[in-house]
Amino acid sequence: MRKTLFTEQSLRDSLQDVGCTDVDVHVAQADWSPFSSAEVVSECDPMFKSFPGYQALTASEAELLRNSLQAAFDGYADTSGKIHLPTKAFMATARID
């Protein structure tokens, strides 16, 4: 059964499950504010083109996906259009005996 790694405890448990000891997990949270939602979507497009599922989309399906992504990012935009996405990084140290 797969575990989610989206909590401190689940990451700690997963590391202990594979034999790590002295596990210490810290979380850093910040807003990621790169640029506007349209710019984020245009930056994603070249990366997406390498995925087989994306390659299989028709032009209209790909446009629908891009529009949906932009709408989702728009929900995080301020009045100037710049997005502010909440991010979380997990940092873990552990001993492997």
Of 84, 96, 82, 87, the residue nearest 21 (C-alpha): 96
> Does residue 32 lie in a domain region?
yes
**Model pLDDT, residue 24:** 96
The pTM of the full predicted model, rounded to 2 decimals, is: 0.57
Confidence check: pLDDT of 1 > 60: no
- Note whether residue 2 is domain-resident: no
- Total tally of structural domains belonging to the chain: 1
In angstroms, the CA 83 to CA 30 distance is: 13
Cα–Cα distance between 13 and 16 in angstroms, integer?
Answer: 5
CA–CA gap between residue 35 and residue 40 (Å, rounded): 7
Among 37, 11, 27, 26, residue whose Cα is nearest residue 88: 27
**Among 39, 44, 37, 41, which Cα is nearest to 78's?**
37
13 in a domain, yes or no? yes
Q: Which domain holds residue 23?
A: 8-96
Which pLDDT tens digit goes with each residue over 44-69? Answer: 888 888 899 999 999 999 999 999 98
Residue 40 lies in a domain: yes
Structural domain includes residue 1? no
Give, as one character, the DSSP assignment of residue 19.
T
The phi, psi pair for 75, rounded to 5°, reads: -65, -15
HSE-up (13 A, CA, CB side) for residue 89 = 5
Residue 46 included in any domain: yes
